[in-house]
Structure 1
Amino acid sequence: MGVAQPDGPDHVILDGTWPYSSGAPYSTHYLGQTLRAGTPVLFVAPRSAWTVLDDWRGALGLRGTGSNSIRMDQARVPAHFTRETSLLDLPVEGGSVGSELHGNPMYAGRAPSFFHGELAAVMIGTAYAAADEYARIVAARPLLLEPDRTRADLHDYQRHLGEALGVIHLAEAALRQTAEDWMEACRRNVSGEAPFTAVEDNRLALTFLNAGRMAWDVLQGILFRTAGSRHARDGERMQRYFRDAATYWTHVGPGMYEPLVRRVGCDTLGLPSEHIALIP
């Protein structure tokens, strides 16, 4: 992680390396965080200010995210491109510059829950793709002793697929409803009816996270496990879906489960929860 230092009243110097900068190879700007004299700073840097490092090619999965590190060497950006705040607790009460500029309340939503919604959507889509591949696999695999029949004719494989799809459908329903709840929280925030609080953010983030966990559980525990070892080989779609899902499971997002459940528990009990760090 890099650092920020003031350069006169109108500019800031950014210096260092920022890892896991998803989308960096395709982006025109970088939105990141750092410290300035011990204070969290959120900043935007144009593409001309940073270099993409070639350090994402060895990732197990999710290689298309382009989560390369970026490097800034004494990059000079306008001071108004920075703000002393944390992305995990960006104040949005009553609306934001973005919601006013675009006339859309979604720009006045809290970031952590939105972040978990993105991850859940990716995981559920991957699980659906794995279920489609599973159906293709079992329908094309002849039985050893009855070559005129396939695994699709066997009750076990029918049950595996149906069980997986039932959970994936449930995860999608949770994702969609929670996304609607998130947008409603944004709308109420901008209209002045009710602020988008950290308590609401915690609840929505945990629901999104649970939806993603459900998708992972059926992908690795049912679909990948029972598809057959031949589909764990390089070049097989099922292997790729598993690698992508496994990489999600190592992401910082799923790692927030423990602090999020503690936060929601404290919120419900009327106890303070903001001291529970989401990221160690």
Structure 2
Amino acid sequence: MTDAASGFPPQFDQQFRSLISGSQEGYFGLDVLRGLVEGMNNYRRDHESSDRGRSLGPAMLGGFLWLDDDELIEAIAGFPAACVVVSKQQASTGRRERKQRTFDKLRRVCDSGNGFPAQACPELSDLAQRDDGRPLVVGPYTHLPDITVPTFRSIGPRKTGQHLVPILHTKMVLLGNLWWHDEGSAGYPEDVIGFTPEKLWLASANGTRSSRSNLEFGVWLTDKTLLEMARGFLTEVICHSEDIDPANDLFEPELAPYEFDDDTMAEAAELWGTEVEPDTDDRLP
């Protein structure tokens, strides 16, 4: 018999790691997070050493309840483009020192990291800073700067007192290729970038150092349908995300899809000798 502090016996230390098929791997037991970190680092190194033509490098999207594991944070920061969203955590008032150090570390990565270019995914390409709390309204002459979403973000309302709130409870990472070409949809020269997902991590293990002592599971998958579904889900999470440590306890994303000013767009179209239909498909926040 083992006492409560000693944890599970060493027989669970990745004894159940297995190759599912091709590049798909499964991990079961202790220190499952090692499978995630090693997989991320190996993917990045293999990608950077290969000749992929018009590639901007490896990129990743992710979602966790929380992460504080130093190796995982370092692996995320090593990607040329990355955005990982976590559930909004406790406010700074009364926060434990160790958790505050983690926030400070994530903030430094956000300030010095590359983030993820919003124009690489269709679901993110129309994001803009809100204007006085409302989605930005654009006309034919509005200049929209390219948005780069910071490496770490948060989502959801913040728990206050004993009141439970909905949380982001996923443990997933999506790896892929960030690419570019110079031809727009109309055939004219244009800088176009995109993200093609290639590998997905799904697990019970959170991104925390304590998860390494738990009995967990994690799998790397490459099914194309699943990759696209994960990309759609994670980009939607990013659309509704906030700063990694926002001051507000409420759920108030500062980015939102912009809306068109149909009147000024119609006036401009008439001036240019063309006709456009009013945009009836504007997405609301």
Tell me if both proteins adopt one fold, taking TM over 0.5 as the criterion: no
TM-score, L = length of structure 2: 0.22
TM-score, L = length of structure 1: 0.23
Larger proportion of strand: 2
Larger proportion of helix: 1
Structure whose alpha-carbon radius of gyration is higher:
1
Q: Which has the higher contact order (CA 8 A, sep 6+)?
A: 2
